Amino acid sequence: MALLIGALTIGLILSLLALGVFITFRIFHFPDITADGSITFGAALCAVLLVQGVDPFWATAAAFAGGVLAGTITGILNTRFKIQALLAGILVMTALYSVNLHVMGKSNVPLLNESTMASQAESLGLKWFHRLDRRYQPRRLAGQHS
C-alpha cells in the first residue's frame, strides 16, 4: 500500500512539470523549456532548506518562488534582450544545472530522514486507508468463534 501511495505522490508532483510545459507550448505559444531546469532548481532549494530544518510547507513555497524567478529570467531574456524564446529557455535551463550544484554544495542531498510534504501526504494517506480498512472489516457476532 505504501508503494502505491508513494507512486501516486510522485506522479502528482511530476504532473505539475507536465502542466507547466503544456501551458507554455499550447496556450502561450512560447516554446519554453525552463520548466525542466526550474523543477530541479526548486527541488535543490527545497532539499537544502529541509536539511536545515525548515518546515516542509515553507521549503516548498521557497521552491515555488525559485521556479518563478527562473521563469522571470527567461522572460526578461526574451523581451528585454530580444533573445529567441527557445534559446532563452535553453540558456536558463543550462545555467540552472550549475546553480543547483552551487545551491546544494554537493551533487546529492539525502532526504531519507527528513520530513517532506510527500512523506506527510503519504502518512496521512496511510492513516486514511487504515481507517477505511478497519471500518469495512467483517465484524464477528457475539458468541461466534472463529
- The per-residue pLDDT for 43 is 94
pLDDT in tens, the chain (146 residues): 778 888 888 898 889 888 888 888 888 888 888 988 999 999 999 999 999 999 999 999 999 999 999 999 999 999 999 999 999 999 999 999 999 999 999 999 999 999 988 788 888 888 887 776 666 665 655 555 55
- The per-residue pLDDT for 139 is 60
- The per-residue pLDDT for 36 is 87
Q: Spell out the alpha helix ranges (H) of 1-146.
A: 2-22, 34-51, 56-79, 85-104, 117-135
Helices 34-51 & 2-22 angle (0-180, nearest 10)? 140
- The per-residue pLDDT for 134 is 66
Q: Which pTM was predicted?
A: 0.76
- The per-residue pLDDT for 51 is 96
